[in-house]
Amino acid sequence: MKREFYRNIVIATDGSENTRRAISYGIEIAKLSGAAVHALYVVNSSPIISENWTIGRENIYNIIRSEGEKAVSEIKKIGEASGVEVREVILDGYPSNEIMDFAENNNIDLIVMGTLGKTGLDRLLIGSVAEKVVRASKVPVMVVRGEEQS
């Protein structure tokens, strides 16, 4: 029996192993509810390299975008194997902002994303896209902690 509670779900990915569990949860929720999934990857436009450095900038961008294409393609394969419709979405910008804007502007009912579960100095230094989305999103967010590393 399918439920109509969720019609559109975003699964936000950064392409890391950390998001595997979140992808599984998102696909399963979509399968149970009959929702479509939007596999979303954001090419981070924050200054990774100096604004003055132009040599190689386009190559770096293309490498990062290619990783994003692989990440959303993997979600699509997993979704299709489960009978879930998956749309691939690649955006440019600041990840937390782009995830929230996409969700708010595309009738998204749920955002599913992974987290490393970092605390203390690690979190302070690298920040947390998941934390920013949870704090500011107008759309419900499910955060799934990645597998613990030993």
Residue 150 has pLDDT above 50, yes or no: no
Q: How confident is the model over 107-128, as a mean pLDDT?
A: 70
Residue ranges covered by each domain of the chain: 8-145
Q: How confident is the model over 93-112, as a mean pLDDT?
A: 96
Single pTM value for the model: 0.86
Q: How confident is the model over 15-40, as a mean pLDDT?
A: 94
Q: 8-145: what CATH class?
A: alpha beta
Taken in order 129, 134, 139, 142, the sign of the CA dihedral is positive
Q: In the predicted model, what is the mean pLDDT of the chain?
A: 86
Calculate the dihedral angle through the C-alpha atoms of 14, 19, 22, 27, rounding to the nearest 10 degrees.
Answer: 70
Residue 3 has pLDDT above 60, yes or no: no
Token digits of residue 74: 């993997």
* Least confidently predicted of 1-10, 11-20, 133-142: 1-10
Residue 17 has pLDDT above 50, yes or no: yes
